[in-house]
Structure 1
């Protein structure tokens, strides 16, 4: 029971620290929300979160923790599904020349969010407040700036540009493509990793119960009998004693908790740049991260260039869409010193491989860069899907092997002495 209480308490502490750091990181001076580079004339984080906003933030935090990726290792969290559905519906209504305030009112009446929670999206209340600001005469970007804790700075910046240049539809099309890719990643992860997640959760749930109640009974039984225990049983008895001894296992749990907190801090805090740099250097994981960044970059650049935006400004905005701090900062810096063509500028960042740069150079030579980025996004999405699928298949095999080995070891450790006991009883009866 103590182990279960420790695990629950640890999870509560981890959740509190994670969302606390995320909230504080939004208010670091000189940074946009989600570390998007500052663009002159664009909104900054100046949200006025009242009691209602705090309640929404807590609700969004709980929703984010259980529905989306809570740790930020895969998709960096966020309400991509809900935000995509809202953006997609808003884009359709703007195409019909429906005023933004009226379009938002209609969308919120319908409800947004995943199908089973259609009317209970955590973004619904913040969007209602945004709608009231818009109805009072404020711009959509200005209204979202007041609720900026719920919306990425990249999203607000593009909405602001679209309104200033009277091309809101173009900005919504870029956001729709970007959020659709993010939404598809979430769905694909859930479908691909579903079995692994269920297996892992069940293992973590059953293990404390076995260690606390079931296995100690066998340990006491074996120790109470004058038997020479087999080696597997001796190992099992030693492990159970260690796991049930708070003096011995306490430091282990504390070390695990410290590592988790450190990882969360590195993902959400000031060590994020170093952490992202290390991830990019890991052979297989680094390739997957680069592939994901290529897809995001191609989707955003394609939409921005299609809207006739200049390359330097498009590159700066595309850097804000990046979820990797190294790409975020490097691309933002590159946008301020574009020399010659885009290919050479990207080559100097050392973030893109030669295949990527070759395809970009073809787009520049044919003066059809927007369509080339579209085809590149399709290519890298296919490649990304294959990598993720193969990695999860490998992980599933490894996890199945480890769990099978552990379960088989426990069964052997229990039944070997049981067979000795049965043999001794049989010999005493027929002696």
Structure 2
């Protein structure tokens, strides 16, 4: 996203000046028109000071699903694409979606296909949706495609929620453990440090180590902040490098407890995306290419690339998957059966349904397993510091 400075006039002739952020000049003009402003001067601000920092998605999943369902309903009711797009643009509360739909409507009015109009707003309309819309335009079943896409994104949202809810608890407890430990080291332990010094008693090595850590935490607390920022920057930088991203994604799949859960989630996402594309008559090579770009894991992405290459050479889609540790035998067998029977989309749908159920059960098991582990982790973190204070106190009281 970029910022644009505009000069224009409202419908009643009043001068309007200001800044807006948009994906492109076309989107900026479309948004201003939706606000009743005709811009006669629009300039992009390239300064770093105006760089847009956007956290999260521009359109909430719930709003996006609702938009797709309403679009499908309007088209199914016989309303033209131009009219349907205009109606949804008028009633949309999300300014990004509103501006995009305004521009799409204008493009449609000039005879541009819906697919081509949507492609200009990649952050609003995902590549998968654009591919499916193209299939719907070609087959004449755009309303069914949009309805299927609404269901798809709804399922993807629930899948993401399962992963988030399963990881939220351990991350929260881990963060609390670290914060409590830092609080004890910085504010509580120093009180006892002075007390131990006043008694002049020799303290155990373990206690001396904790006191030294406390002293360092007080003197160099800012180093912790700088180190955290540095590690985040390094992680963000390396995350853009394919080699390190692949290593990290592989490591995530190997982590005890979480690895298996993530593996199931990725298989569910892959099979659901592929089955949706194939069921909408998208060519299999294109379907694999789109799935590869939306899967979000380098390990699975590489296997999909290998599968695509295998198909191009006239071999099986399942062949590279059978040789990879990330794909269970049941999955590869179902895909192979689907290929041989000509019902690959239905087989992929069955695999997706199976793993959706598996994820529900795995999520519950993971939460019940993680809870006691994290409680023990919190107790050990805090208990280790408290123990370092209590041990020398027994010795001091014995000598009083």
TM-score using structure 1 length: 0.67
The reply on whether 1:212 has 2:205 as its aligned counterpart is no
Q: 1: distance between equivalents of 2:49 and 2:132?
A: 27
What does residue 301 of structure 1 align with?
274
The reply on whether 1:314 has 2:301 as its aligned counterpart is no
| SS across alignment from 2:68 | helix
Matching residue within 233, 240, 245 for 1:268: 240
Matching residue within 55, 64, 68 for 1:87: 68
The reply on whether 1:125 has 2:81 as its aligned counterpart is no
Written as runs of structure 1 = structure 2, the 5 A alignment for 1:282-361 is: 282=254, 284=256, 287-332=260-305, 334-335=307-308, 338=311, 344-348=316-320, 350-351=323-324, 352-361=327-336
| SS across alignment from 1:62 | coil
In the superposition, relative to structure 1, how do residues 174 and 338 fare at CA in structure 2: closer, same or farther (>3 Å)?
Answer: farther
Q: How many residues align?
A: 355
- The unaligned stretches of length 5 or more in structure 1 are 1-18, 21-45, 69-77, 112-118
1:405 Cα offset (Å): 1.2
Q: 2: distance between equivalents of 1:52 and 1:385?
A: 47
CA displacement 1:168-227 (0-9 Å, x = unmatched)? 234424433432232012322343344334323433444444333333222223223323
Contact 1:302–1:370 (8 Å) recurs in 2: yes
Q: What root-mean-square deviation, in Å, do the aligned CA atoms of Structure 1 and Structure 2 show?
A: 4.1
In the superposition, relative to structure 1, how do residues 163 and 413 fare at CA in structure 2: closer, same or farther (>3 Å)?
Answer: same
In the superposition, relative to structure 1, how do residues 222 and 88 fare at CA in structure 2: closer, same or farther (>3 Å)?
Answer: farther
In the superposition, relative to structure 1, how do residues 198 and 339 fare at CA in structure 2: closer, same or farther (>3 Å)?
Answer: closer
What does residue 38 of structure 1 align with?
none
Matching residue within 28, 52, 55 for 1:62: 55
What does residue 407 of structure 1 align with?
382
The reply on whether 1:376 has 2:369 as its aligned counterpart is no
| SS across alignment from 2:317 | helix
Contact 1:158–1:171 (8 Å) recurs in 2: yes
1:289 Cα offset (Å): 4.0
In the superposition, relative to structure 1, how do residues 140 and 309 fare at CA in structure 2: closer, same or farther (>3 Å)?
Answer: closer
CA displacement 1:387-408 (0-9 Å, x = unmatched)? 4444444443332212101222
In the superposition, relative to structure 1, how do residues 171 and 197 fare at CA in structure 2: closer, same or farther (>3 Å)?
Answer: same
Higher strand residue share: 2
Contact 1:232–1:409 (8 Å) recurs in 2: no
Q: 2: distance between equivalents of 1:87 and 1:155?
A: 10
Contact 2:303–2:320 (8 Å) recurs in 1: no
Q: 2: distance between equivalents of 1:290 and 1:193?
A: 14
1:143 Cα offset (Å): 3.7
Contact 1:144–1:156 (8 Å) recurs in 2: yes
Contact 1:84–1:183 (8 Å) recurs in 2: no
In the superposition, relative to structure 1, how do residues 211 and 63 fare at CA in structure 2: closer, same or farther (>3 Å)?
Answer: farther
What does residue 203 of structure 1 align with?
177
Contact 1:174–1:299 (8 Å) recurs in 2: no
In the superposition, relative to structure 1, how do residues 194 and 296 fare at CA in structure 2: closer, same or farther (>3 Å)?
Answer: closer
Tell me which structure has the larger Cα radius of gyration. Answer: 2
In the superposition, relative to structure 1, how do residues 183 and 55 fare at CA in structure 2: closer, same or farther (>3 Å)?
Answer: farther
| SS across alignment from 1:410 | helix
Written as runs of structure 1 = structure 2, the 5 A alignment for 1:77-226 is: 80-100=61-81, 102-104=83-85, 107=88, 124-138=94-108, 139-226=113-200
CA displacement 1:362-415 (0-9 Å, x = unmatched)? 334444333222221111222234344444444433322121012223333334
Q: 2: distance between equivalents of 1:102 and 1:205?
A: 55
Contact 1:297–1:322 (8 Å) recurs in 2: yes
Contact 2:136–2:280 (8 Å) recurs in 1: no
Contact 1:265–1:271 (8 Å) recurs in 2: no
In the superposition, relative to structure 1, how do residues 135 and 339 fare at CA in structure 2: closer, same or farther (>3 Å)?
Answer: closer
1:339 Cα offset (Å): 6.2
- The unaligned stretches of length 5 or more in structure 2 are 3-22, 29-43
